[in-house]
């Protein structure tokens, strides 16, 4: 699309083209591309998301109940899907497994403790 | 429904959990003629000599509330089958046990693996069908055969129970 633009009292014709989410503006024989900055922003958002994943270091209880058994100790390295503890809740026995890997910084519960939904069970480093 | 039969296992729940790891499908049933380490809630031992019916069902993925409800419904299902088939009056001790004449005859244990949500579930049932004796536990445990004076058909009872559990799960999942 051709547009007329006045810059410092000088009128010129520019050619504006939108393509692949970018804005191409051609002034004379020079071409300016806009939209790259926004792309970088998107990349930053992705990075922030992966950081959020990294900071998911608290394993919380999804149920209210009592701790039947804790299988790990502080300092242990836990793998994804590894059994951490058993929680007796709603008259069922529930093996709580880790959703991420990491080193156990602190175990917040012990056998016999009562926990509520959302309570932190374990903190990973 | 696939029924995997074993002569002897440590526990049908343990075997069912192993089978899940190996890719077993929901409604796979693990049955054993006897268990070395049968257990109930909080690790309480379930005496499992030959003659009894010991089985675990791999359940389809479900939310935790439905799983609890299904455990309770299973107690009702088994009590109903006992009453209808043998014309005796069982007592459901909610949510996990069934008694006959004040003595324990059946226990149910559902075990879930939970990460962000429920990853897998098995429901184990120990039903004293043709158990002849309970050394040291005669005052608190009994069997169907002791109460009605004849042997019962374990395979037939198992089929009926599984069929009913499936029906109940379909109903509560609607």
B68: CB partners within 8 A, 6+ apart:
A90, A91, A92, B95, B110
Residue A52 pLDDT class (50, 70, 90 cuts): very low
For A26, which DSSP code? Answer: E
pLDDT for res A39: 47
Residue A30 pLDDT class (50, 70, 90 cuts): confident
pLDDT digits (tens, 9 = 90+) for B50-94: 999 999 999 998 888 888 888 888 999 999 999 999 999 999 987
- Record the tokens describing residue A87, joined without a space: 């929680």
Question: How high is the ipTM of this complex?
Answer: 0.87
Q: Homologous superfamily of B2-173 in CATH? A: Bira Bifunctional Protein; Domain 2 (3.30.930.10)
Q: Is A91 close to B67, i.e. CB distance below 8 A?
A: no
Q: Mind telling me how many Å the CA of B14 is from chain A's nearest CA?
A: 12
The Cα B39–Cα B48 span in angstroms is 9
Domains of chain A, each with CATH number or no CATH:
2-54 (no CATH), 58-124 (2.40.50.100)
Residue A41 has pLDDT above 50, yes or no: no
Number of alpha carbons in the 13 Å side-chain half-sphere of residue A45: 6
Task: Please report residues of A whose CB lies closer than 8 A to that of B59.
Answer: none
Between A34 and B31, where is the model more confident? B31
pLDDT for res A8: 61
Mean pLDDT of A87-94: 91
Interface of B with A in 34-73 (CB under 8 A): 41-43, 64-65, 67-68, 71
Residue A100 pLDDT class (50, 70, 90 cuts): confident
Decide the pairing of beta strands A102-107 and A120-124. Answer: antiparallel
pLDDT for res A13: 72
The Cα B132–Cα B115 span in angstroms is 42
What are the extents of the domains in chain B?
2-173
Q: Mind telling me how many Å the CA of B71 is from chain A's nearest CA?
A: 8
The Cα B169–Cα B174 span in angstroms is 9
pLDDT for res B61: 87
Mean pLDDT of A63-92: 92
Intervals of chain B under pLDDT 50: none
pLDDT for res B132: 92
Mean pLDDT of A24-44: 64
CB B148 within 8 A of CB B88: yes
Q: Is B119 close to A97, i.e. CB distance below 8 A?
A: yes
């Amino acid at each position: 699309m051709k547009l007329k633009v006045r810059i410092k009292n000088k009128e010129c014709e520019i050619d504006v083209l939108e393509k692949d989410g970018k804005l191409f503006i051609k002034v004379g024989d020079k071409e300016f591309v806009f939209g790259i900055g926004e792309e970088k922003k998107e990349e930053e958002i992705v990075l922030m998301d992966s950081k959020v994943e990294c900071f998911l270091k608290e394993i919380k209880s999804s149920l209210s109940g009592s701790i039947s058994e804790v299988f790990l100790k502080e300092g242990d390295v836990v793998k994804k899907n590894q059994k951490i503890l058993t929680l007796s809740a709603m008259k069922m026995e529930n093996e709580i497994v880790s959703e991420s890997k990491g080193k156990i910084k602190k175990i917040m519960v012990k056998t016999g403790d009562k926990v509520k939904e959302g309570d932190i069970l374990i903190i990973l480093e | 429904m696939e029924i995997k039969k074993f002569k002897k296992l440590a526990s049908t729940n343990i075997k069912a959990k192993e089978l899940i790891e190996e890719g077993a499908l929901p409604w796979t049933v693990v049955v054993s003629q006897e268990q070395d380490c049968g257990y109930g809630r909080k690790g309480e031992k379930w005496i499992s000599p030959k003659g009894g019916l010991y089985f675990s069902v791999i359940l389809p993925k479900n939310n935790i509330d439905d799983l609890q409800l299904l455990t309770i419904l299973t107690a009702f299902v088994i009590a109903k089958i006992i009453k209808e088939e043998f014309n005796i009056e069982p007592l459901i001790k909610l949510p996990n046990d069934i008694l006959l004449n004040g003595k324990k005859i059946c226990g149910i244990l559902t075990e879930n693996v939970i990460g962000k949500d429920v990853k897998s579930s098995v429901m184990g049932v120990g039903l004293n069908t043709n158990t002849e004796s309970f050394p040291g536990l005669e005052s608190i445990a009994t069997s169907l055969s002791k109460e009605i004076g004849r042997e019962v058909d374990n395979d037939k009872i198992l089929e009926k129970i599984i069929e009913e559990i499936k029906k109940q799960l379909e109903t509560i999942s609607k």
